[in-house]
Each structure stands twice: as structure tokens, then as C-alpha cells.
């Protein structure tokens, strides 16, 4: 998605801007997918926790271990998912900043996208 002012840029810079734009578009799609599926993940983690609590029907010791395991797995899974969301959001922001710096003619902050 080149903007009209990109015509003043060199061919190499325009190519880099196009690659960064494609990367930002992919990342934004990934972020939207994570956000769309987040309620499903939250329900699954809550269901796992409820199943862990329901394990007390098998006795005190199995119930305790199942509950502790469910809390650790649910909490860890949720925190890892939130960390991944934060990472993708930060990557989108950094990519957009890189595009802006390329268009303004400043020295790029990051290396080329993969």
C-alpha cells in the first residue's frame, strides 16, 4: 500500500516500504485472529479449571492435585496467550514506525523483515 508521496523515494526504499506494509498486514491479520478467538480460549481455560475443581468427587488428594494442575495449566496458558498478543501488538507498532521512518528518510531502526 504505497502512499502518493512514495514517488519521491528511491526504488530500494519503496521496495522495503512495500515489504514492511505486507508484513504489517500479515501481523494485523494474526492479531485479529487472536482477538477473535480469545473468548473461546477464556472459556476453555475456565472449563479446565471447573473440571479440576470437580475432581474432588474422586477424593481429597486427587481433587487437590487436579485443581492445582488445572490452575497452573489454565493460568500459564492464559498468560502465554496474553504475552503473545502483546508481542504481536508491539511488532505491528514497530513495523508501522519503521514504515514511517523510511518514508521520512530517517535511518531505519530495525533490520529488514523476514
pLDDT at 90 over 70: yes
In a domain, 1, yes or no: no
Q: Is the pTM of this model over 0.75?
A: no
Of 29-43, 49-63, 96-110, give the lowest mean pLDDT range. Answer: 96-110
Q: Is residue 37 part of a domain?
A: yes
CA angle 2, 7, 10 (to 5 degrees): 100
How many separate domains does the chain show? 1
C-alpha cell at 40: 473461546
Higher pLDDT, 54 or 13: 54
| 3 falls within a domain | no
49 inside domain: yes
* Residue 103's pLDDT band (cuts 50, 70, 90): confident
CA distance 95 to 24: 6
Instruction: Tell whether 109 is covered by a domain.
Output: no
pLDDT tens digits, 22-33:
999 999 999 999
Residue 113 is assigned to a structural domain of this protein: no
Residue 50, domain extent: 9-104
Residue at 35 is within a domain: yes
For residue 2, is it within any domain? no
Amino acid at each position: 500500500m504505497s502512499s502518493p508521496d512514495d514517488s519521491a523515494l528511491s526504488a530500494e526504499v519503496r521496495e522495503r516500504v512495500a515489504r514492511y506494509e505486507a508484513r504489517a498486514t500479515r501481523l494485523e491479520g494474526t492479531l485479529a485472529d487472536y482477538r477473535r478467538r480469545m473468548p473461546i480460549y477464556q472459556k476453555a481455560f475456565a472449563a479446565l479449571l471447573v473440571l479440576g475443581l470437580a475432581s474432588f468427587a474422586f477424593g481429597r488428594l486427587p481433587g487437590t492435585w487436579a485443581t492445582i494442575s488445572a490452575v497452573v495449566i489454565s493460568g500459564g496458558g492464559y498468560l502465554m496467550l496474553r504475552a503473545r498478543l502483546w508481542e504481536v501488538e508491539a511488532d505491528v507498532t514497530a513495523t508501522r514506525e519503521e514504515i514511517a521512518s523510511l518514508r521520512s528518510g530517517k535511518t531505519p531502526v530495525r533490520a529488514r523483515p523476514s
